[in-house]
Structure 1
């Protein structure tokens, strides 16, 4: 493996760690830790956290795409390992979920909080939590496929 390939593999894994690790942290560590806050405090905090996270996910996606293009390189699709195909398909689904999360429930969450609609904000936060959970499971599945299928 050349240094150039090792660099791009590092960039690829870094993007995955930011995205999947961030979802794990938010879903498994942060959310349960803020349950004692009032609904207003919890929703405002989670809006800030999710807002910062969706921006970093965009950076992670750029890192994953740029490095993925280099790493896949000139390998014909027919010769790529099965895990790579699962990775590409899983990435497409995760990207669609991310884009929906970012532009629909997150925007609705911001609008509901701006309007003082805590129940509406809670509904949108529940949707964000569900979508993050789905993407977390997809991300773990993709990682498993890459390692187990090659």
Structure 2
């Protein structure tokens, strides 16, 4: 029973995080072309604020449930196959990349938007997009690898 609860929470976190990145990059971003640049920047600020708040919850849930399953159900790293080790690695890289986004370009974007500095904000939005693209690829790779666990 506990294993099913841990797995469900872990999968929900993955769906929210990876699905959110996919939606943001593949649906939302192209749709923003109908807005003027100042409106796009303002919307990016609102979207990132909300999405990053969700990731601050999903990421620890995924890491904690992953470690709980690893040690409570499988006896540690020695009791799992290569796929779990790859998921562990990609999950840690994704978490680190999220932290880099949050404390790097996102911090700068918030300051630029608060100051009304659109010239400084635009390249930060693009940098965040690039880093989220990397995280999306890692997330999709992790989902594929999960099929082999």
Same fold (TM over 0.5): yes
Report the Cα distance in structure 1 between the residues aligned to 2:51 and 2:16, rounded to whole angstroms: 9
Aligned partner of 2:103 in structure 1 is 103
2:125 matched to 1:119? Answer: no
Q: TM-score, normalised by structure 2?
A: 0.94
Aligned partner of 1:49 in structure 2 is 47
1:67 pairs with one of 65, 68, 90: 65
RMSD: 1.1
Aligned partner of 1:17 in structure 2 is 15
Q: CA deviation at 1:78?
A: 2.5
Could you tell me which runs of 5 or more consecutive residues in structure 1 were left unpaired when the two chains were aligned.
none
Aligned partner of 1:82 in structure 2 is 82
Aligned partner of 1:92 in structure 2 is 92
Q: TM-score, normalised by structure 1?
A: 0.94
Runs of 4+ in 1 over 4 A off after TM superposition: none
1:58 pairs with one of 36, 56, 59: 56
Equivalent pairs counted in the alignment come to 147
Deviations 1:78-132 (A, max 9, x none): 3311110001100111011100101110111111112222121000000000011
Report the Cα distance in structure 1 between the residues aligned to 2:15 and 2:8, rounded to whole angstroms: 10
